[in-house]
Amino acid sequence: MALLPELEAIRRSQIIDAAVRTIASKGSTNVRMDDIVRCSGLSKGGIAYYFPSKESLFKTVFTVYFDAVYETVKQELAHEPSTFSRLARIQMLFDRERTEVGTGYPLLADFMYHAMHREEYRPIFSKWVDGWVALLVEVLEQGVEEGLFIAMDPEPVARSISAIYQGVGLRWFLAPESHSRAWALSTLEFAVRGVMAPWLAPGVELPMVS
C-alpha cells in the first residue's frame, strides 16, 4: 500500500536530516548507508525507497540544505538597518552558536570537494552560487533605487561580493585562532566597501556598520 503523501514527506525529511548531521560530523567519504540508517531510525530498505543510491541522497542533501540556509538568510537580512549593512554584514554566517554555521561550513567544504573532482556536482555548485548572487542582486538594485548607488549591471558585482563571503567565511571557520569573528566582519565590510566604491552615487558616503 502506498504511503500517504504527508508520511512520505516526513520520512524523506527524516532521512535528509540524518544525512546532513552524519555528513557534517564524519565527511561524506567516511559515511556509509548504515550510519544514516542508525541516525534516521529507519531501515536500509526504507531509505532506499526514497534514495536508491548514496549518490542521489548526497546530491539531495546538499541542494535541500543550502536552499534552507538561503531562506534563513533572507529573513535575517530583512532586519538589517540599511542597504549597505545587508551587503556587508550577514551576521548569522559568523555565529558559531547557530546550527546553520556548525553544520553548514562542513557541508560546504565537503560539497566543494565533490564539485572539484566530479563533473556532475558542478551544476549544483552553480545553483548554489547563483542563489547567493540573486540574493545580493536584489539588495544592489534596492540601493540603486534609493540613490545610494549609480546604475550598474548588478550581477558581476554580486558575484564579487559572494566570493568574498565564501573565502572569508571558510578561513574564519577553519582557522579561528588566527581569524577571529571580529576579523571576519571587519574584513567583509572593508572588502565590500572596496567593491562598491566605483558605484557610489555622487556625494554618498557609506556608513560604518561595524
Question: Alpha carbon of 138 to those of 15, 78, 158: distances in Å?
Answer: 33, 12, 9
With beta carbons less than 8 A apart as the criterion, state whether 42 and 15 touch.
yes
| CATH class of the region 59-199 | mainly alpha
How many C-beta atoms surround the C-beta of residue 134 within 10 A?
Answer: 14
- pLDDT over 80 at 207, yes or no: no
Task: List where CATH 1.10.10.60 sits in the chain.
Answer: 1-52
How many C-beta atoms surround the C-beta of residue 79 within 10 A?
Answer: 9
- pLDDT over 50 at 1, yes or no: no
- The pTM assigned to this predicted structure is 0.87
Q: Which fold has domain 1-52?
A: Arc Repressor Mutant, subunit A (1.10.10)
Q: What is the pLDDT of residue 3?
A: 60
- Nearest-angstrom CA–CA distance, 210 and 200: 19
Least trusted range by pLDDT, from 81-85, 109-113, 153-157, 194-198: 81-85
pLDDT tens digit sequence for 170-195: 999 999 999 999 999 999 999 999 99
- pLDDT over 60 at 2, yes or no: no
Q: What is the pLDDT of residue 159?
A: 97
